[in-house]
A and B are shown apart, each in its own frame.
Chain A
Amino acid sequence: MLSKQTKEAFLGPLNANNPVLVQILGICSALAVTVQLKPALVMGISVTIIVALSNVVISLIRKSIPMRIRIIVQLVVVAALVTIVSEVLKAFAYDVAMQLSVYIGLIITNCILMGRLEAFAMTNNVKDSLMDGLGNGLGYAMILVIVAFVRELLGSGKLLGFQVIPQWCYDHGYSNCGMMLMPAMALILVGCVIWAHRSINEEKK
């Protein structure tokens, strides 16, 4: 059903061309919102929706955008979408929106977005652009979820806010690792994921 190129546009960013692991984009927000799993999930979904939709919009109007002001046009589209998502979150998931605070607004400046719009949507058709946006958004969300999973589990003993490490462990001397709550540890975890990713992909070659 899907052509090879479309498939590649979707699957590439999930693994071989992952925006976080290979292009090292969007690291800043990956460090900031991954203390707990829930905000990381919401952030990942928001970015996926925004990248996919803005890719579609830019791809639709790509032939009529004057080259000189294309960055401004792209920013306007992204800003509009970010505002919508931000308002929706505030209406239906107020707690999470407060936890994410400025980082939802800062999606506008997320390098993955501008990168995809410039590098892909400006030159490709609508269907491919949609798949590319979904792939990149999910590739980003995937890393966020992995990092947040480890950080919330080891840092506060919870997952999605539920206590998963039993009280029994704490009674026998286990304690949460406060280092996991610090941004430094998120950086090290992203480094570990990149390490694993590279060594797996190198073996394939």
Chain B
Amino acid sequence: MEKFYNLWKKFGKNFEQGGKLENLSSFYDAFDTFLFTPNTTAKKTGSQIHDGSDSKRTMILVVLALVPCALFGMFNVGYQHLLATGQLAAGITACLWWKALGFGILAVLPLYLVSYIVGLGIEFIVAQMKHEEVAEGYLVTGFILPLILPINTPLWQVAIATAFAVIFAKEVFGGTGYNIFNVALIARAFLFFAYPSSMTGDSVFVRIGSTWGWDGAQAVDGFSGATTLTQLSTGIAAQTDCASIWASINGLMPGCVGETCVWAILLGAILLIATGVASWKVMVSIIATAGITAYLFNAFGPDTAIAHFPWYMQLLNGGLLFGAVFMATDPVTSARTECGKWIYGVLIGFIVIVVRVLNPGFPEGMMLAILLGNAFAPLIDWCVIRKNIKKRLKRA
């Protein structure tokens, strides 16, 4: 290790000012801090708060929290494929279990490759142009993006959406930490509005046919790959046919790659809350408000299947929990004042159910709700701060 470190540092001399590769210094810097802890620490004199946590560590923690969702998502992609092609008729064996995981990894990996290559590529180029360090914000964005897409999204569309989101939702605002909207959600929104046929419907959530030429089995008769919410909003199914509460929690059902399993999301949520990376207030207020809103629709709502979908099922299905835990809590785009976080969560929780129930064009409302919440977050903060200033002035 010592040898490699010395070699690496020697190589780094090229990137210093006046060196041969001076223009590419941010490349070197990015890999340097990714591989090694920076040697520079705060001076011993004076009073400073010492903490090993910088934005790189924070981002890594979020990625770690997402790993259960990603792994389960990959397994579920394979599992849904086997289910749809009738290979699970005799029950799941160890061999099939591994086949599901392998198939899922092969199917999801290209999404990750595209997301990271395009996104990080743009980040690196922009950093060179601005003569800045490469910011680490894309680590998380790139990890979340494949998890909120249907598995069958064409890769070139993912590439375009990623480029659009990184350039227009992030870099034009000034890069990591300055974006108003959640970048991964902008990419998803772009896909949703630009290529609606790849984002909704009953053939996008389950991979039928081969992945990289492997296992090109066809679907069995009578198969429908629609998510529970789509089935309800299009009136294909009455509620009684829909997935049971345990199926919704275990998450072995069609949906975007990472959003289906409640256990995996819960694991991530515990890690995020325990390390203080994400705010529990946002999560709690979103879930509570969404539950209450759904309950009110259950009691007084219009006479549609989705309005009478039990409130607890509303919470467990679709992207609500995933969005509440991993996306609405994004520290850059959510409200920053403690009181503001409650209001922000209430807004999102309310909107998501309203969109799901009242707009037949959108079976899923979490994306729009969070983006709307993002748009209002600065205003919420402003009002909270104004109120506090007024209160304290009165006291004085």
Contact = CB atoms under 8 A, between A and B. Distances in A.
Contact of B190 (A173, A174, A175, A179): A179
Contact of A182 (B160, B193, B195): B193
B197 A175 contact: yes
Contacts of B168: 188
Contact of A179 (B154, B156, B194): B194
B193 A175 contact: no
Contacts of A182: 193
Task: Determine which residue in A173, A177, A180 has the highest number of CB atoms from chain B within 10 A of its CB, and name it.
Answer: A177
Interface string B303-336: 0000000000000000000000000000000000
B193 A179 contact: yes
Nearest to A195: B172
B154 A178 contact: no
B360 interface: no
Contacts of A178: 193-196
Interface residues of A, number: 9
A179 B193 CA distance: 5
Contacts of B197: 175
A31 B176 CA distance: 30
Interface in A155-176: 173-175
A173 B194 contact: no
Interface in B240-292: none
Q: Is the interface of B mostly helix, strand, loop or mixed?
A: helix
Interface in B196-212: 196-198
Interface in B154-210: 154, 156-157, 160, 168, 190, 193-198
B272 to A, nearest CB: 32
Contacts of B154: 173
A175 B193 CA distance: 13
A70 to B, nearest CB: 41
Interface string B132-166: 00000000000000000000001011001000000
Interface in A7-60: none
Interface centre among B154, B168, B193, B194 (most CB of A within 10 A): B194
A177 B196 CA distance: 9
A174 B197 CA distance: 12
Contacts of A180: 194
Nearest to B193: A179
Contacts of A175: 157, 195, 197-198
A63 B193 CA distance: 54
Contacts of B194: 177-180
Contacts of B156: 173-174
Nearest to B195: A175
Contacts of B193: 178-179, 182
Contacts of B190: 179
A37 to B, nearest CB: 20
A85 to B, nearest CB: 34
A178 B197 CA distance: 10
A185 to B, nearest CB: 9
A128 B193 CA distance: 46
Interface of A: 173-175, 177-180, 182, 188
Given A175-B157, A180-B194, 14 more contacts: A173-B154, A173-B156, A174-B156, A175-B195, A175-B198, A177-B160, A177-B195, A178-B195, A178-B196, A179-B190, A179-B193, A179-B194, A182-B193, A188-B168
20 contacts: A173-B154, A173-B156, A174-B156, A175-B157, A175-B195, A175-B197, A175-B198, A177-B160, A177-B194, A177-B195, A178-B193, A178-B194, A178-B195, A178-B196, A179-B190, A179-B193, A179-B194, A180-B194, A182-B193, A188-B168
